[in-house]
Structure formats: structure tokens, C-alpha cells
Amino acid sequence: MIYLSEPTTTVATRTLSGRRRMSIPMQPLYAAYNQELAAWFNARPDILTMWQPLDPLRINGFYIEDYFDTSGYTNDKLTVFTENAFIQEAGRYQHTFPGNARWLVLDIIMTERIDDVTEMAAELIDNNTLIPGTSNSTDDWNQVIFGRLREFTGITQGTTVQDVFAPVSDQQWGSLEPTTADKLWTYKILLITGIPDEFSRVRFPASRVVMNTEVRREDDMAFMMRQKRSYELTSY
């Protein structure tokens, strides 16, 4: 009976294990500024569904929250080893009539869900704190698989209207740590700082978050220790 039960488990594991390329597509954003309300709004609600507004009382901007479902691997006692992660974007970065507004764009892959995206974004702008995985965050470095932070400012193209935005800084961090989490949460956050013009329009291109991984079985002790550590971090 022991011999007959083992091949079934082995076959299932081999089906799930191996190299995997995971990706999540994200829709473009077209946002318009309402000067009376001092807030940004989705200008194309008919076609855009992924972007959510941040609380305009704290900070102006939008974000997308999604996740890679890795529960099938965890249920089969498999570990996801991240080889690399990156962001693909296709399109132009445009901000018509920006005033003195700038952008901060944050991309994150985490083993934990962010409790309050607006709170984190506001603290990033106000105090340069709460960036997940850094020393002043409640999230451990191991919980952030990949992080990228860019700042954009306008480029004048022969007119007084700054239309094309370009990055002036590009920072990356993250542990690329193997994980047994059931979900890997992904975020794209667009923060708009400064005071925009009353005719401001923002166009942000479509994008995709990509992870190249290898899924394989570890010995039972290593797997159990990863599960234990994940529980400890979640309990903070």
C-alpha cells in the first residue's frame, strides 16, 4: 500500500514543479484633474477597471492591487524560488498642463497584502517612510520579493506645455527570497505630487509585472521552517 500511494504524489508534484514564468497584465490609466475638488478622477471609467483612487484627503493618485495565486504549489508542499522579477511598460508617459506636479511610481511584489495603501503612500510623500521592506516599515525585507520606485518630471518640447514625462530616478530593492506563501501580492501605485493645472490630464501606459521562477520540492524540515517564518512575519 505504501508503494502504490507514492507514485500518485510524485506525478502530481512533477506536473506542478519546474521553471515558470508568471505575469499579470495591468491596464493603462487616463486621469483628469478636478480643480474645484482638488482631486484626480478616472477619465475613462467605461474601459478602465483595475485602477483604484487613493484617498484624495491624504494624497492624490491611483493604484492597482492584484496577486499571483501560488496556493496550488503550497498545497503540494512545493516552494517557489524567484529567479528575477521586472516590470514591462508599453506607451508614453504624458501629463498635459502639469503645473508643478510630478509623479512617483511604485511597483511591489510582496508576500503580504498592504493594509492601507493610502497611508503608506502618504507617509512616503510626507516623511519618506513606510516603504515596504525598508528599516522604517512594519514589513520585513524578506516579505518584499521585488520593489521599484521611480520619480518622473516634465520635459518641455518646444512649447510652454510640458507633455512628455520622463524618469529622473529609478531605485530597486527586494529579497527575491524563496517563498511558500499562498499569494504574492502585486501593486502599481501612481502618486501625483505638487499642484497641477486645472486642465491637467495624466496618461500612464499599459504594463505587466513578470516573475521568472523555479518551483521545486525541498525537504520537509526546510519547508516547515519557511511556513513557520511566514506565520511569524504575518503575526507582527
User: What residues contact residue 88 under an 8 Å CB cut-off, 6+ apart?
Assistant: 207, 208, 209, 210
174, pLDDT greater than 90? yes
pTM > 0.75: yes or no: yes
Question: pLDDT exceeding 70 applies to what percent of the chain?
Answer: 88
Strand partners, 25: 208
Strand partners, 20: 213
For the chain, the domains span 17-234
Query: Where does the pLDDT of residue 163 fall: very low under 50, low under 70, confident under 90, or very high at 90 and above?
Result: confident
pLDDT of 9 higher than 60 = no
| pLDDT greater at residue 48 or residue 210 | 210
Lowest mean pLDDT among 24-28, 52-56, 109-113, 227-231: 227-231
CB 121 within 8 A of CB 128: no
In order of 95, 162, 218, the CA distances from 196 in angstroms are 10, 12, 53
Q: Are 55 and 39 in contact (CB under 8 A)?
A: no
* Residue with the larger pLDDT of the pair 46 and 220: 220
Helix (H) or strand (E) holding 120: helix 117-127
